[in-house]
C-alpha cells in the first residue's frame, strides 16, 4: 500500500540471515584467481554475478550486463618492464625482480600481472639515481635547494603523501627522466621488513611485494570524458587525452629499493625522509663509491606499457520497488582486482553477494518487496580509475539525476577488524548511525557497532554532542561519480584499523599478489565476523533507505557542516578578504537561510510523521530530501576539474579547510595584487557558493513559497 513503511521484523530477519561463513565462501570463490579488469577471469566473475542475481530462488527481479569499450594500460608481455643498475661500461650490475616471490603458490599463477604503473608512458630513461622522498612539490623544492642535479636523473620515491601521478608530474617539472616508486616498511609494516616478520607469517608486506596502481589523474575512461564509452562514442585521440604521467614510471618492492637506496651517495636525506630499510638514506645523485656499484653507475628504467581498448562490463541487478519503483537506492562495488584481490575488492563483493542472496530469497519467497527499487551494481575497471561506475553515470545521467535516492559503496569491506568506518555526505549520517546502533559489534565486547565506533573515532557535534566521525568523500572508489558528478547523497562503509596499533598507510598487501584468500582468512578477519558486521550495517542502511515511508536523509545535518565551513572561512580568510573589500556577509546570510529552512522542514517532517499523511505529501517531502544534494551542483564552478561539480566536496588544494572553491581561489589570489584575475575568481567562487546555498535553502522551504 502507499503507506508501506520499514518493517522491523523483516529488518531483524535480514540481520539474522547474513551469514559469515557464506561471505567466506563467496570470498574464496571470488579471489581464487587473479581477476584483472577485462581478463578472462573477470568475465567468469561477470557470469557468476549474473547467475547469482538471476537465481530463481535467491536472485533479483532482473539482472544484466552493460559493456563499455575503455582505454586500459598493461605491461607488455613480450618485453617486461625492468629496472637495472648499469655500470659505467654499460654492463647490467643489478636488476629488480620482475615479479613478486612465490611465497604461497598464488604468486606463481601465470595470470598475475607483473607490477607496473598503469598509464605510465613507455620509455627507457637512464640516469643517476636521486632519492626524492614522496615526490611532493616540497620534496623536489628541497632537492633543488640543496643543489641536487635533477635534470636527466632517475628519482626513487616512496608511496604516500601525494597521489601516484603527482610524483611523476612534480619530477618532470625538474627535468627528471624516470620515476621509481616503492613502499617503505616504515609506511606499511610499522617498520618490519624481514621475510619471517611478513606474510605468510603475519599480515605484513613481504620484501618483494609491489603496489600496482593507476597513475591516471582523472576518473572515467580517459578517451570519453562526459560521454559513455559505447563502441560508437566519440573518442579523443590517445595523444590528445590528458591525465597520464608525463614520464616513464615503475613501482618496485622494498627489497629492491633497499639495494638502490642504501647504496646512494651524497648528503643524508632530512630526518623526515628516513625510512625503515636499515640504512641512512642519502640523496644521491648516483651511488657511493664504497657501495656495491662502481662510481658512475646509473639506473635504467625500461617501461613498455601499452594502451589498449578493452571491453569492460558492469553487472546490474534490480529489485523493483512495490510502491515507488522510480526511486532507486543504489548499492555497488567494483569487481576487478589488480591480482587476486581478496581484500580489494572481493571482500566487498563477497558482502554484496551475501546481501543480495538474503534479500533475493525474501523476495522470491514473496515475504518482502521494498517500497523503493534497489539497484545492485558490480563495476568493472575501477582499478584503472573508477571506469565502470563513471561510464554508468555518464550513460544514465538523466535517470539517476531524477530518481536516485542514495548510493552506497562498499569497496574493501574489511581493512581490519577494529571498528566501523564510514564516509558520506551529511544527510546519510543519521541513517548510518541508526543502523550502527542496532547491530552488535564483532568481538568479545557486547557493544553496538555505534558504541564501539565512537571509541575509535569521534567528534563533538554542536547539535548531538559526542558522535562517531563520519568522513568526507574523496575520489577513492566508485562513489566519486555519484557524489561529485551527479550530486547523489553517497556513502562508503567498511571495517577498519585500530589506529593506535598500526600506522600502516593501508593494509600491507594492498594491490600486491599477496592479497589472497588466506591473507584475509588468517590475518584480516578470521571468522569473518567483521565482514558480517559490514553486511549487517549496509543491509540495515539499505533497507532503511528503500523501505522507510519517510526517507531517512537528515538534511538538517548539512547545517552543521555549512556552519563549520563558514566559521573556518571567517576565521582564516575573513581578514584577508576584508583587505580586498570582499565581504563574507552574503555567505553568512545564505548559511543562515539554509539553517532556518532546514529547521522548519525538520518540524514539518516531525508533524507529518505524527499524523497519517497523504501519500503525495510524503512523496513531495521525500523529493525535497532526495534532491537537496543535487542543488549543490554547478557544472560551471570548476571548469578545470573533470566531473567535479559539487560546490561543497570538490577537491581542496588551498590550505584553509573551508568551501573548496573559496579556499582554492584564495590560495591562488593571496600573492597577487588587488584587481587581479585571481581575486576576481575569489569573488566568482563566493557568488557560486552563495547562489548554491540560497538555491538549496529555497528547495527546503515550503513548496508554494515564492
Min dist CB 564 to Ca ion, Å, is 30
- In the bound state with a copy of itself, the residue whose beta carbon lies nearer, of 89 and 704, is 704
Min dist CB 478 to a copy of itself, Å, is 17
Task: Count Cα atoms within 13 angstroms, Cβ side, for 640.
Answer: 4
Q: Can the peptide bond before residue 285 be classed as cis, meaning omega within 30 degrees of 0?
A: yes
- In the bound state with a copy of itself, the residue whose beta carbon lies nearer, of 291 and 586, is 586
- In the bound state with Ca ion, the residue whose beta carbon lies nearer, of 238 and 571, is 238
Phi, then psi, of 571 in degrees rounded to 5: -70, -45
- In the bound state with a copy of itself, the residue whose beta carbon lies nearer, of 524 and 693, is 693
- In the bound state with Zn ion, the residue whose beta carbon lies nearer, of 344 and 547, is 344
Within residues 649-668, the interface with Zn ion by CB under 5 A covers none
Min dist CB 224 to Ca ion, Å, is 3
- Give the dihedral of Cα atoms 469, 472, 473, 476; nearest 10 deg: -70
Please name which of 449, 396, 504, 481 lies closest in space to residue 66, comparing C-alpha atoms: 396
In the block, which residue shows the cell 522548519?
A: 600
In the block, which residue shows the cell 632519492?
A: 131
Q: Helix, strand or coil for residue 192?
A: coil
List contacts with a copy of itself (CB under 8 A).
Answer: 2, 61-64, 226-228, 230, 232-234, 316-318, 320-321, 323-326, 373, 375, 394-399, 402-403, 583, 585-586, 614-616, 619-620, 623-624, 627, 630-631, 635-636, 680, 683-684, 686-688, 690-691, 694-696, 698-699, 703-704, 706
Choosing among Zn ion, Ca ion, a copy of itself, none, which partner's interface includes residue 629 (Cβ < 5 to 8 Å by kind)? none
Q: Nine-digit cell at 586?
A: 552574503
Within residues 400-439, the interface with Zn ion by CB under 5 A covers 411
Choosing among Zn ion, Ca ion, a copy of itself, none, which partner's interface includes residue 345 (Cβ < 5 to 8 Å by kind)? Zn ion
Sheet strands (E) in 24-125: 62-74, 82-86, 92-95, 117-118
Asked if residue 211 binds Zn ion (CB under 5 A), the reply is: no
Choosing among Ca ion, a copy of itself, Zn ion, none, which partner's interface includes residue 411 (Cβ < 5 to 8 Å by kind)? Zn ion
Please name which of 316, 374, 311 lies closest in space to residue 52, comparing C-alpha atoms: 316
In the block, which residue shows the cell 588544494?
A: 653
To which H or E segment does residue 398 belong?
Answer: helix 397-403
Choosing among Ca ion, Zn ion, a copy of itself, none, which partner's interface includes residue 631 (Cβ < 5 to 8 Å by kind)? a copy of itself
Contacts of 575 (CB under 8 A, 6+ apart): none
List contacts with Ca ion (CB under 5 A).
Answer: 220-221, 224, 229, 394
Choosing among Ca ion, Zn ion, a copy of itself, none, which partner's interface includes residue 694 (Cβ < 5 to 8 Å by kind)? a copy of itself
Min dist CB 359 to a copy of itself, Å, is 15
Min dist CB 619 to Zn ion, Å, is 36
- DSSP secondary structure of 250-268: EEE-HHHHHHHHTTB-SSB
Choosing among a copy of itself, Ca ion, Zn ion, none, which partner's interface includes residue 620 (Cβ < 5 to 8 Å by kind)? a copy of itself
Length of the chain, please? 706
Distance between CA atoms of 180 and 171, rounded to whole angstroms? 11
203-206 own/partner pairs: CB under 8 Å, 24+ apart: 203/507, 203/508, 203/509, 203/519, 203/523, 203/524, 204/508, 205/254, 205/508, 205/509, 205/512, 205/514, 206/100, 206/101, 206/103, 206/253, 206/514
Question: What are the start-end ranges of the H helices in 637-706?
Answer: 660-669, 677-700
- In the bound state with Zn ion, the residue whose beta carbon lies nearer, of 249 and 337, is 337
Contacts of 513 (CB under 8 A, 6+ apart): 34, 99, 100, 106, 107, 112, 209, 339, 340
Q: Tell me, by CB under 5 A, how many residues bind Zn ion.
A: 3
- DSSP secondary structure of 484-499: IIT---EEEEEEE--T
**Per-residue mark of binding to Zn ion, 342-361 (x: CB under 5 A):** --xx----------------
The answer to whether the beta carbons of residues 251 and 211 sit under 8 Å apart is yes
Residue closest to Zn ion when measured from CB atoms:
411
Residue closest to Ca ion when measured from CB atoms:
224
- DSSP secondary structure of 127-153: E-EEE-TT--HHHHHHHHHTT---TT-
Min dist CB 703 to Zn ion, Å, is 30
Min dist CB 506 to Zn ion, Å, is 9
Catalytic residue among 69, 100, 324, 382: 382
Min dist CB 349 to Zn ion, Å, is 10
Min dist CB 560 to Zn ion, Å, is 30
- In the bound state with Ca ion, the residue whose beta carbon lies nearer, of 394 and 595, is 394
Choosing among Zn ion, a copy of itself, Ca ion, none, which partner's interface includes residue 221 (Cβ < 5 to 8 Å by kind)? Ca ion
Choosing among Zn ion, a copy of itself, Ca ion, none, which partner's interface includes residue 294 (Cβ < 5 to 8 Å by kind)? none
Choosing among Ca ion, a copy of itself, Zn ion, none, which partner's interface includes residue 111 (Cβ < 5 to 8 Å by kind)? none
- In the bound state with a copy of itself, the residue whose beta carbon lies nearer, of 61 and 557, is 61
Choosing among Zn ion, Ca ion, a copy of itself, none, which partner's interface includes residue 220 (Cβ < 5 to 8 Å by kind)? Ca ion
- In the bound state with Ca ion, the residue whose beta carbon lies nearer, of 226 and 464, is 226
Min dist CB 553 to a copy of itself, Å, is 15
End-to-end CA, the chain: 34
Distance between CA atoms of 101 and 180, rounded to whole angstroms? 19
In the block, which residue shows the cell 513503511?
A: 5
Decide if 382 is catalytic: yes
- In the bound state with Ca ion, the residue whose beta carbon lies nearer, of 70 and 439, is 70
Q: Give helix 677-700 / helix 557-579 axis angle, nearest 10°.
A: 150
Give catalytic residue positions.
Answer: 382
The contact set with Zn ion (CB under 5 A) reads 344-345, 411
Amino acid at each position: 500500500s502507499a503507506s508501506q513503511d520499514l518493517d522491523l521484523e523483516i529488518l531483524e530477519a535480514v540481520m539474522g540471515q547474513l551469514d559469515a561463513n557464506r561471505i567466506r565462501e563467496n570470498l574464496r570463490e571470488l579471489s581464487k584467481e587473479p581477476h584483472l579488469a577485462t581478463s578472462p577471469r573477470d568475465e567468469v566473475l561477470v557470469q557468476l554475478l549474473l547467475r547469482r542475481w538471476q537465481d530463481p530462488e535467491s536472485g533479483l527481479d532482473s539482472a544484466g550486463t552493460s559493456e563499455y569499450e575503455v582505454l586500459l594500460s598493461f605491461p607488455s608481455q613480450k618485453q617486461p618492464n625492468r629496472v637495472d643498475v648499469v655500470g659505467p661500461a654499460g654492463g647490467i650490475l643489478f636488476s629488480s625482480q620482475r615479479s613478486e616471490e612465490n611465497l604461497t603458490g598464488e604468486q606463481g599463477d601465470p595470470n598475475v600481472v607483473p607490477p607496473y604503473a598503469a598509464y605510465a608512458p613507455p620509455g627507457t630513461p637512464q640516469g643517476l639515481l636521486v632519492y626524492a622522498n614522496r615526490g611532493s612539490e616540497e620534496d623536489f623544492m628541497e632537492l633543488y635547494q640543496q643543489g641536487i642535479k635533477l635534470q636527466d636523473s632517475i628519482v626513487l620515491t616512496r608511496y604516500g603523501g601525494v597521489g601516484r601521478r603527482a610524483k611523476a608530474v612534480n619530477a618532470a617539472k625538474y627535468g627528471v627522466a624516470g620515476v621509481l616508486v616503492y613502499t617503505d616498511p616504515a609506511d606499511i609494516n610499522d617498520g618490519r621488513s624481514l621475510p619471517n616478520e611478513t606474510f605468510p607469517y603475519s599480515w605484513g608486506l613481504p620484501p618483494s611485494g609491489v603496489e600496482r596502481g593507476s597513475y591516471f589523474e582523472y576518473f572515467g575512461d580517459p578517451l570519453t570524458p562526459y560521454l559513455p564509452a559505447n563502441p560508437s562514442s566519440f573518442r579523443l585521440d590517445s595523444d590528445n587525452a590528458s591525465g597520464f604521467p608525463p614520464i616513464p614510471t615503475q613501482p618496485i618492492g622494498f627489497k629492491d629499493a633497499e639495494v638502490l637506496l642504501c647504496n646512494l651517495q651524497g648528503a643524508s636525506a632530512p630526518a623526515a625522509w628516513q625510512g625503515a630499510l636499515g640504512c641512512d638514506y642519502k640523496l644521491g645523485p648516483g651511488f657511493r663509491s664504497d657501495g656495491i656499484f662502481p662510481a658512475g653507475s646509473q639506473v635504467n628504467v625500461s617501461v613498455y606499457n601499452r594502451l589498449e581498448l578493452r571491453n569492460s562490463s558492469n553487472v546490474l541487478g534490480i529489485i523493483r520497488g512495490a510502491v515507488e519503483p522510480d526511486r532507486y537506492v543504489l548499492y555497488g562495488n567494483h569487481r576487478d582486482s589488480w591480482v587476486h584481490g581478496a581484500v580489494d575488492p572481493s571482500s566487498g563483493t563477497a558482502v554484496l553477494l551475501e546481501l543480495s542472496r538474503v534479500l533475493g530469497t525474501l523476495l522470491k519467497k514473496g515475504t518482502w518487496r521494498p517500497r523503493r527499487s534497489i539497484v545492485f551494481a558490480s563495476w568493472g575497471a575501477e582499478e584503472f580509475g573508477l571506469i565502470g561506475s563513471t561510464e554508468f553515470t555518464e550513460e544514465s545521467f538523466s535517470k539517476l539525476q531524477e530518481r536516485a535516492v542514495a548510493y552506497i559503496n562498499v569497496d574493501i569491506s574489511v581493512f581490519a577488524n577494529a571498528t566501523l568506518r564510514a564516509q558520506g555526505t551529511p544527510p546519510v549520517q543519521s541513517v548510518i548511525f541508526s543502523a550502527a546502533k542496532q547491530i552488535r559489534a564483532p568481538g568479545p565486547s557486547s557493544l553496538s557497532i555505534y558504541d564501539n565506533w565512537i571509541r575509535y573515532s569521534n567528534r563533538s557535534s554542536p547539535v548531538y554532542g559526542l558522535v562517531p566521525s563520519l568522513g568526507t568523500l574523496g575520489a577513492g572508489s566508485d562513489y566519486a561519480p555519484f557524489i561529485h558528478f551527479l550530486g547523489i547523497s553517497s556513502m562508503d562503509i567498511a571495517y577498519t584499523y585500530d589506529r593506535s596499533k598500526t600506522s600502516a598507510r593501508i593494509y600491507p598487501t594492498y594491490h600486491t599478489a599477496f592479497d589472497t584468500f588466506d591473507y584475509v582468512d588468517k590475518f584480516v578477519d578470521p571468522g569473518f565476523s567483521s565482514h558480517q558486521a559490514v553486511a549487517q550495517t549496509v543491509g540495515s542502511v539499505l533497507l532503511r533507505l528503500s523501505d522507510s515511508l519517510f526517507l531517512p536523509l537528515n538534511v538538517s545535518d548539512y547545517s552543521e557542516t555549512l556552519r563549520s565551513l563558514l566559521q573556518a572561512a571567517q576565521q582564516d580568510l575573513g581578514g584577508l578578504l576584508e583587505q580586498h573589500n570582499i565581504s563574507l556577509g552574503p555567505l553568512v546570510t545564505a548559511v543562515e537561510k539554509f539553517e532556518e529552512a532546514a529547521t522548519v522542514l525538520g518540524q514539518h517532517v516531525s508533524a507529518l510523521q505524527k499524523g497519517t499523511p497523504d501519500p503525495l505529501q510524503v512523496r513531495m517531502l521525500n523529493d525535497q530530501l532526495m534532491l537537496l544534494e543535487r542543488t549543490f551542483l554547478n557544472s560551471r564552478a570548476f571548469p578545470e576539474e573533470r566531473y567535479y561539480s559539487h560546490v561543497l566536496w570538490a577537491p581542496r588544494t588551498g590550505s584553509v579547510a573551508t568551501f573548496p572553491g573559496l579556499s582554492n581561489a584564495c590560495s591562488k589570489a593571496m600573492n597577487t595584487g588587488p584587481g587581479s584575475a585571481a581575486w576576481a575568481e575569489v569573488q566568482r567562487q563566493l557568488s557560486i557558493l552563495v547562489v548554491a546555498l540560497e538555491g538549496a535553502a529555497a528547495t527546503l522551504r515550503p513548496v508554494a513559497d515564492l
